[in-house]
């Protein structure tokens, strides 16, 4: 990662709050379900973050702001333009127009607008923050951070700059710092709809399971509920009942385990392994799961779950590649999971709802996202054909605290306390000071990557991807684009028929560099929407299987190690080893 980014965060962006299953409910003092905390609670909490010399902005949202918050982007754009007609010097209207253009996915146009306005008004913090928002959304993290720092130096009282800083810091794993900036933003401008919504979400305290069930059943008794809403409520009830069966806690503490990475599919040749799998016991029966950093939780194929006798408990949506990227799964519970010498009880797992591509992959019973092991230090030693799980270094304020469980529910996992109360900044242990600092959104590990001579791009680490992929916009910056004929990409979400590629791509991630003769072009819009920042591609297994990857999910750290003298190595597609 560039040193510029480290400087940015040392002086200092909206993290999407996961909605579990279909409905999420929160408690306020008396236990009644409410969408947010009280005004008195909000005022008391945010006053601790008052900024000297600043005053609270009680400006109500304009019609354009309200339209933007309601995702009525065309209306917002029209209303901001109307405001500029009345007052051509309105920086608020200019910034609003940039943000509405961003929301419509017009990233080049949004940045061009922001730069035009900021150049015309060079010391306007509002417009500098609009530049930062556009650059952040495009994945230009260094430039975004520099613009935010400049904006806050010019005007530390502008709420949206603190809000955007909060989004940035959250993706970096600096959750306490992110919450601090959100608190400042809310104190400065409590009536801003985006700031207010996010603040209340982070302060919402989840109801107990009994409170949730009582509230949902009361909603279900309402005869005016439409059928679609009733289905969502029933799914939420099943999900809550499911989650109460257990949390996949480790039976006996074991500090370290080493597990063989097996070939997937099983072609009998560990030397020429294409992808890696992990053998484990689920309710006493052996299952082989593909190791997938691009997936979340533990997902079983429909046929494997049927053989285990699992009962569906609630429906969720999962994503993957494909023109129709959303696929459906159900959640269920297993009594016991054994991984080597480790044993875990009462674990929620995902099950593909119908037979699909996952059932047709030879010798594979499902997927295991490495975020399942996020309570551990995870080492994927592909050349050594070994997965190692160890203890994470304890932060100075958590010495002696060791609670380890499997996150088999993945991104659907809920916490018993509010986000604001549990927020912690990442901890970089002395032995990890040289590891690569990455962004993280849910299970997605997002790595700053250099492609040829282009500015830094953000790529996902995805051991489940059979090849590395690049987005159309990033491909245009990199090299010559050509069509690939007779090639289909398949994932659990579907099939992509039309494929193009860009040639002669040199990639640098952390200390590792590799050149690809061709890189497939694929739309990454789904990942971008989930992360809130432009994802320019995926780094797939052909590159990652050459490396030893040590992953610290808690602290957003990854160590990339390449040693051509140790273990099994293939050559990349131009006949050369990784550099």
Higher per-residue confidence, 478 vs 279: 279
Q: Look at residue 571 and tell me whether its pLDDT is greater than 60.
A: no
- Give the per-residue pLDDT at 574: 41
CA count, 13 A, side-chain hemisphere, 65: 14
Say what the pLDDT of residue 505 is.
Answer: 87
pLDDT > 80? residue 4: no
Q: Are strands 557-561 and 436-437 parallel, antiparallel or unpaired?
A: antiparallel
The phi and psi torsions of 41 (rounded to 5 degrees) equal -60, -45
Lowest model confidence (mean pLDDT) among 18-32, 178-192, 457-471: 18-32
Split at pLDDT 50, 70, 90, the class of 1 is: very low
Instruction: Give the per-residue pLDDT at 499.
Output: 77
Of residues 30 and 271, more confidently modeled: 271
Which contiguous run of DSSP H or E holds residue 337?
strand 326-339
CA 467 → CA 16, 268, 479, 539, distances in Å?
Answer: 28, 22, 18, 7
Taking alpha carbons only, the member of 261, 387, 279 closest to residue 338 is 279
**41 — alpha (psi -120 to 50), left (phi > 0) or beta?**
alpha
Its sign, for the CA torsion 131, 135, 140, 141, is: positive
Q: What is the DSSP string of 231-268?
A: HHHHHHHHHHHHHTT---EESS--S-EEEE-EEES--S
- The alpha-helical segments, DSSP class H, found in 91-158 are 91-103, 107-120, 125-137, 141-154
Q: What is the mean pLDDT of residues 388-396?
A: 92
445 and 535 Cβ atoms separated by less than 8 Å: no
Question: What mean pLDDT do residues 357-380 have?
Answer: 85
Residue 279 is given by DSSP the state: E
pLDDT at res. 261? 94
Query: Which one has a higher pLDDT value, 253 or 15?
Result: 253
Cα angle for residues 201, 371, 377 (degrees, 5° grid) = 115
Backbone φ and ψ for 532, nearest 5 degrees, come out as 75, 10
pLDDT of residue 326: 47
Is there a contact between 86 and 211 (Cβ–Cβ < 8 Å)?
no
CA distance 253 to 66: 52
User: Would you state the structure tokens that stand for residue 345, as one six-digit string?
Assistant: 């009880």
What was the pLDDT predicted at 147?
Answer: 97
Better-scored residue on pLDDT, 507 or 90: 90
- Residue 50: exposure state from Cβ atoms within 10 A (0-12, 13-18, ≥19): middle
CB 563, CB 556: distance < 8 Å: no
Residue 576 clears pLDDT 80, i.e. is over it: no
Of residues 376 and 413, which shows the higher confidence score? 376
Task: Say what the pLDDT of residue 484 is.
Answer: 62
Q: How confident is the model at residue 327 (pLDDT cuts 50, 70, 90)?
A: low
Identify which of 566, 573, 523, 498 has the alpha carbon closest to the alpha carbon of residue 543: 573
Contacts for 305 with CB less than 8 Å, ≥ 6 apart? 332, 349, 351, 352
User: Each residue of 34-66: pLDDT tens digit?
Assistant: 333 445 555 555 678 999 999 999 999 999 999
What's the pLDDT at 577?
Answer: 47
Q: Considering the chain, what percentage of its residues have pLDDT values greater than 70?
A: 78
Q: How far apart are CA 575 and CA 579, in angstroms?
A: 12
338 strand-pairing partners: 281, 343
pTM, two decimals, is: 0.84
Residues near 352 by Cβ (< 8 Å), separated by ≥ 6? 299, 300, 301, 302, 305, 327, 328, 329, 358, 359, 366, 492
pLDDT-above-90 percentage for the chain: 48
Residue 247, pLDDT score: 77
- How much is the pLDDT for 503? 85
| Ramachandran sector of residue 6 (left: φ over 0; alpha: ψ -120 to 50; beta: rest) | alpha
Question: Is the confidence at residue 356, as pLDDT, over 70?
Answer: no
The pLDDT tens digits for 174-229 are: 999 999 999 999 999 999 999 999 999 999 877 788 888 888 888 888 888 888 77
pLDDT tens-digit readout, 523-554? 888 889 888 899 999 999 888 988 999 999 99
- As a whole number, the mean pLDDT across the chain is 82
């Amino acid at each position: 990662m560039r040193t510029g980014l480290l400087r940015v965060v040392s002086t200092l962006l909206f993290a999407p709050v996961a909605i579990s299953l279909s409905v999420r409910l929160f408690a306020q003092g008396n236990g009644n379900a409410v969408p947010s905390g009280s005004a008195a609670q909000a005022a008391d909490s945010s006053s601790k973050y008052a900024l000297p010399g600043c005053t609270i902005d009680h400006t109500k949202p304009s019609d354009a702001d309200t339209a933007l918050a309601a995702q009525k982007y065309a209306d917002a754009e029209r209303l901001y333009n109307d405001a500029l007609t009345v007052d051509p010097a309105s920086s608020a209207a200019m910034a609003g127009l940039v943000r509405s253009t961003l929301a419509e996915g017009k990233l080049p146009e949004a940045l061009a607008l922001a730069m035009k306005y900021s150049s015309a008004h060079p010391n306007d913090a509002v417009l500098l923050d609009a530049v930062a928002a556009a650059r952040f959304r495009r994945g230009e993290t260094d430039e975004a951070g520099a613009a935010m720092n400049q904006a806050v130096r010019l005007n530390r009282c502008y709420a949206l700059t603190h809000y955007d800083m909060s989004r940035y810091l959250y993706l970096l794993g600096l959750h306490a710092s992110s919450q601090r900036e959100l608190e400042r933003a809310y104190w400065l401008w409590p009536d801003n709809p985006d700031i207010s919504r996010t603040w209340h979400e982070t302060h919402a305290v989840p109801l107990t399971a009994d409170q949730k069930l009582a509230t949902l059943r009361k909603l279900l008794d309402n005869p005016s509920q439409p059928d679609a809403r009733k289905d969502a409520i029933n799914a939420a009830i099943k999900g809550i009942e499911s989650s109460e069966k257990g949390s996949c806690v480790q039976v006996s503490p074991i500090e370290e385990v080493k597990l063989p990475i097996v070939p997937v599919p099983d072609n009998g040749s560990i030397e020429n392994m294409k992808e890696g799998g992990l053998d484990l016991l689920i309710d006493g029966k052996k299952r082989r799961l593909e190791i997938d950093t691009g997936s979340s939780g533990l997902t079983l194929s429909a046929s494997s779950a049927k053989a285990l006798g699992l009962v569906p408990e609630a429906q969720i949506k999962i994503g993957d590649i494909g023109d129709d990227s959303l696929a459906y799964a159900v959640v269920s519970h297993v009594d016991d999971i054994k991984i080597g010498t480790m044993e875990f009880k009462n674990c929620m797992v995902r099950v593909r709802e119908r037979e699909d591509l996952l059932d047709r992959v030879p010798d594979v019973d499902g997927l295991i996202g490495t975020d399942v092991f996020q309570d551990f230090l995870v080492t994927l030693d592909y050349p050594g054909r070994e997965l190692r799980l160890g203890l994470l270094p304890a932060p100075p304020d958590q010495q002696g605290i060791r609670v380890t469980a499997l996150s088999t529910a993945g991104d659907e996992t809920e916490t018993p306390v509010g986000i604001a109360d549990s927020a912690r900044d990442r901890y970089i242990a002395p032995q990890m000071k040289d590891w690569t600092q990455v962004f993280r959104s849910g299970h997605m590990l997002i790595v700053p990557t250099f492609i040829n001579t282009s500015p830094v791009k953000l790529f996902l680490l995805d051991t489940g991807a059979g090849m590395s992929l690049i987005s159309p916009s990033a491909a245009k910056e990199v090299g010559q684009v050509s069509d690939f004929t007779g090639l289909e990409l398949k994932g659990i979400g579907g099939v992509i028929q039309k494929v193009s590629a860009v040639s002669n791509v040199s990639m640098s991630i952390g200390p590792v560099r590799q050149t690809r003769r061709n890189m497939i072009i694929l739309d990454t819009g789904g990942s971008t929407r989930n992360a809130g920042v432009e994802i320019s591609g995926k780094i797939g297994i052909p590159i990652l299987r050459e490396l030893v990857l040590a992953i610290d999910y808690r602290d957003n750290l990854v160590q990339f190690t390449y040693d051509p003298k140790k273990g099994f190595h293939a050559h990349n597609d131009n006949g050369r080893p990784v550099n």
